[in-house]
Amino acid sequence: MVLYSDFPLKTAFRLTAVDAEQPAQLRITIMPKIKTKKSATKKFKMSATGKAMRTQAGKRHLNGYKTRGRKRNLRGTTAVYEGNQKMVARMLQA
């Protein structure tokens, strides 16, 4: 049996009867998230192969002492860590 406390506070779900003959048995369906996290759309994008991409860190400030090559190598994007791919994809609704 699944209790309401097994779900996070903001999880939307729907209770439906499993069988019309036995309405006491219920099936819990977790509803899909509707809105995209707007902060995630500004930080990540999905590549053509389905990977989440991010900008590289280390180029916002204190750039005076960094070499030209080091700053050049920080250009562009790189893939998000594999452990976070699923979470970022869900935030972007991809």
pLDDT of residue 69: 97
Domain count, the chain: 2
- Tell whether the model's pLDDT for residue 78 goes beyond 90: yes
Does 43 lie in the same domain as 78?
A: yes
What mean pLDDT comes out for the span 19-27?
A: 64
pLDDT of residue 2: 53
Does 40 lie in the same domain as 25?
A: no
What mean pLDDT comes out for the span 38-64?
A: 95
- Tell whether the model's pLDDT for residue 50 goes beyond 70: yes
pLDDT bin (cut points 50, 70, 90) of residue 62 is: very high
CA dist., res. 17 & res. 76, Å (int): 51
Element (DSSP H or E) covering residue 44: strand 44-46
CA dist., res. 94 & res. 49, Å (int): 12
Residue-range definition of the domain harbouring residue 40 = 35-94
